[in-house]
């Protein structure tokens, strides 16, 4: 189901958590709310769920205005970071809970609830665990039970609050892939909150980057990674370098030197130059380029990260292949960004 968030503002006491946030979530989409802690992403998720009430603004599920509805009436599935399973109930009773609390008129018969719960148990690959209690499961298994429990009510939208936040790295990776598969199979509109950019980029159809209670950018993983529209997004997603440069006459200068990098003709004055460590070429000839000394190098998986001091305290980090790194002169390294973006200071 489509979810429309319209001009939502939320204040806790006098502290504003969200300012005027609007977002359209398409039906069947897997969308990530990504941001540092305190950016308001969890608040937005809880507002959609109805666990918080907005100070201003409306939320629509399809055509119906959900703002006036209680959590119970919204029929959503919510997965918490720390599972929030009912520990006195078996796995099967946990999953079936949402169906057993329905009013008598819409409640399926007991056998039917059991059958549906078992089906979901198979879907989350926990076949045969129905009689276990939550404390007898590992963290990854508990989170899968929590997801099955949320899906049992056939929710309008599935909301996941840092679903893998409490799990260790390997389990996170497995569950990530698995969640994508489940989503493709069931087609639930899904919103998940994460502070892990890798998770958001790998898993989501679209990523909503948030900072300080505002949406910075909404786009596909490629869009937010390749064309960030603000210094914050550039800095937050992926690695990046930031240098203070001068723009003059369609040219970018750094510490007075030309760099062979073009800028818009009509811009003048200081600007911030952003580029990614891997978007560079090493320059050994006399064409204009950045020049500096190697401060240190680090091995990162298949590449080498070189930290370069450019003088007067400016530092950048470059990514080169190990072969290139072996040939570098520590006293003098030249490079030029191949892709970059300028932002006003």
Partner 1 sequence: MTRSASSGWQFRQPSVLPGFRWALGYTLVWLTLIVLIPLAGLFFKSAALGWHDFWSLAFERRTLNALWISFGCAFIAALANVVFGTLLAWVLVRYQFPGKKIVDSMVDLPFALPTAVAGIALTTLYAPKGWIGAPLALLGLKVAFTPVGIVIALIFVGLPFVVRTVQPVMEEIDREVEEAAATLGANRLQTVFRVLLPGLAPAVLTGFSLAFARGVGEYGSVIFIAGNLPFKSEIAPLLIVIKLEEFNYPAATAIAVVMLLISFSMLFVINLIQAWSRRRYGYGA
- Residue list 140-179, contact with partner 1 (CB under 8 A): 146, 149-150, 152-153
Q: For partner 1, how many residues bind (rule: CB under 8 A)?
A: 29
Contacts of 187 by beta carbon, 8 Å cutoff, 6+ apart:
28
Element (H, E) at 247: strand 241-248
Are the CB atoms for 273 and 255 separated by under 8 Å? no
- Exactly one of 101, 174, 187, 332 binds partner 1 (CB under 8 A); that residue is 101
- Exactly one of 13, 15, 111, 135 binds partner 1 (CB under 8 A); that residue is 135
Residue 146 or 280 having the CB closest to partner 1 = 146
In Å, how far are 41, 183, 255 from 83, measured between CA atoms? 18, 19, 53
Residue 48 or 306 having the CB closest to partner 1 = 48
CB of residue 102 vs partner 1: minimum separation in angstroms?
6
Contacts of 277 by beta carbon, 8 Å cutoff, 6+ apart:
239, 240, 241, 305, 316, 317, 318, 319
Element (H, E) at 79: strand 77-79
- Residue list 8-67, contact with partner 1 (CB under 8 A): 49, 51
Are the CB atoms for 43 and 64 separated by under 8 Å? no
Angle at 38 between CA 34 and CA 39, to 5 degrees: 40
- Exactly one of 12, 65, 71, 260 binds partner 1 (CB under 8 A); that residue is 71
Residue 72 or 312 having the CB closest to partner 1 = 72
Residue 161 or 317 having the CB closest to partner 1 = 161
Residue for token pair 């493709």: 184
Buried b (16+ CB within 10 A) or exposed e, 186-214: eebbbbbbbbbbebbbebbebbbbbbebe
CB of residue 89 vs partner 1: minimum separation in angstroms?
8
Q: Could you give the CA distance from residue 303 to residue 297 in angstroms, rounded to a whole number? A: 10
Q: Which stretch binds partner 1 (CB under 8 A): 69-77, 167-175, 206-214, 306-314?
A: 69-77
Q: Which stretch binds partner 1 (CB under 8 A): 83-91, 238-246, 267-275, 289-297?
A: 83-91
CB of residue 332 vs partner 1: minimum separation in angstroms?
56
Residue 89 or 294 having the CB closest to partner 1 = 89
Q: Could you give the CA distance from residue 48 to residue 241 in angstroms, rounded to a whole number? A: 36
- Exactly one of 9, 84, 195, 230 binds partner 1 (CB under 8 A); that residue is 84
Residue 31 or 49 having the CB closest to partner 1 = 49
Residues found near partner 1 in the complex (CB under 8 A): 49, 51, 71-72, 75-78, 80, 82, 84-89, 97-98, 101-102, 133-136, 146, 149-150, 152-153
């Amino acid at each position: 189901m489509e979810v429309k968030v319209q001009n939502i503002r939320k204040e806790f006491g006098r502290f504003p958590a969200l300012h005027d946030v609007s977002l359209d979530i398409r039906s069947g989409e897997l969308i990530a709310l990504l941001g540092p802690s305190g950016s308001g992403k969890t608040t937005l998720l809880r507002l959609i769920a109805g666990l918080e009430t907005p100070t201003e603004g409306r939320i629509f599920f399809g055509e119906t205005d959900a703002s006036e509805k209680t959590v119970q009436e919204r029929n959503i599935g919510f997965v918490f970071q720390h599972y929030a399973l009912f520990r006195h109930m078996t796995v099967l009773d946990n999953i079936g809970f949402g169906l057993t609390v329905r009013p008598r008129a819409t409640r399926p018969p007991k056998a039917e609830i059991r059958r549906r719960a078992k089906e979901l148990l198979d879907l989350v690959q926990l076949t045969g665990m129905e009689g276990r209690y939550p404390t007898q499961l590992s963290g990854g298994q508990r989170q899968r039970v929590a997801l099955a429990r949320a899906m049992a009510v056939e929710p309008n939208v599935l909301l996941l609050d840092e679903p893998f936040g409490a799990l260790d790295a390997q389990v996170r990776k497995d569950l990530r892939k698995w969640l994508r598969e489940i989503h493709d199979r069931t087609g639930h509109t899904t919103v998940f909150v994460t502070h892990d950019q890798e998770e958001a980029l790998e898993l989501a159809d679209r990523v909503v980057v948030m900072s300080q209670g505002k949406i910075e950018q909404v786009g596909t993983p490629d869009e937010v990674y390749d064309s960030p529209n603000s210094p914050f997004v550039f800095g937050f997603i992926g690695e990046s370098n930031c240098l203070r440069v001068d723009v003059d006459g369609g040219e970018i200068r750094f510490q007075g030197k030309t760099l062979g990098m073009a800028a818009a003709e009509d811009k003048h004055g200081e600007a911030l130059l952003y580029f990614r460590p891997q978007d560079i070429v090493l320059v050994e000839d006399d064409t204009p380029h950045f020049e500096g000394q190697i401060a240190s190098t680090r091995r990162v998986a298949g590449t080498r990260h070189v930290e370069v001091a450019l003088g007067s305290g400016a530092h950048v980090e470059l990514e080169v292949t190990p072969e290139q790194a072996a040939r570098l002169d520590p006293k003098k390294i030249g490079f030029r960004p191949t892709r970059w973006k300028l932002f006003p200071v």
